[in-house]
Structure 1
């Protein structure tokens, strides 16, 4: 992977992670780096699922792929926030 690919993955991950946080109601207690990580994973997973469903390469904006990515990011943010909250309560 080239540097431009890494930079774009980080940028897209940040945007997708931020959108995922906006979709989840309430306050999430996860930081910038976890949001970025969740966003990158969600973006990759959403792209793979969109490819499997055959909707990854469409004309114009790939709305289905974007919705899948944001949905995976929202689920990831919820899971990570729940795990961190549960760990903090057990201390």
Structure 2
């Protein structure tokens, strides 16, 4: 069941990150979900390192770290995606 929650959280974080980043992102939805999963993992690691991983109630600080990490990973990942595959896709359309 943990992998299902990881996919759901990654999907939601990836979509929020895409909405926050200005401009159009060209990476596909499955890749955005993977970037969101990576953002959740990195955000959890940062929260744990700073000692705010487990707090009473809702862990807003941990969620903020996850979101910021997802935004950075989606932005960098989309740039890498366009650098690797962007020109090929444009050439196929012409």
TM-score, length-normalised on structure 1? 0.87
Equivalence for 2:13: 16
Aligned residues: 88
TM-score, length-normalised on structure 2? 0.84
Equivalence for 2:2: 5
In terms of Rg, which structure is larger? 2
In the alignment, is residue 51 of structure 1 matched against residue 48 of structure 2? yes
Whole-angstrom distance in 1 between the partners of 2:37 and 2:67:
11
Q: Which aligned runs of 4 or more in structure 1 are off by greater than 3 angstroms? A: none
Long gaps (5+) in structure 2: none
Long gaps (5+) in structure 1: none
Q: CA RMSD in A?
A: 1.5
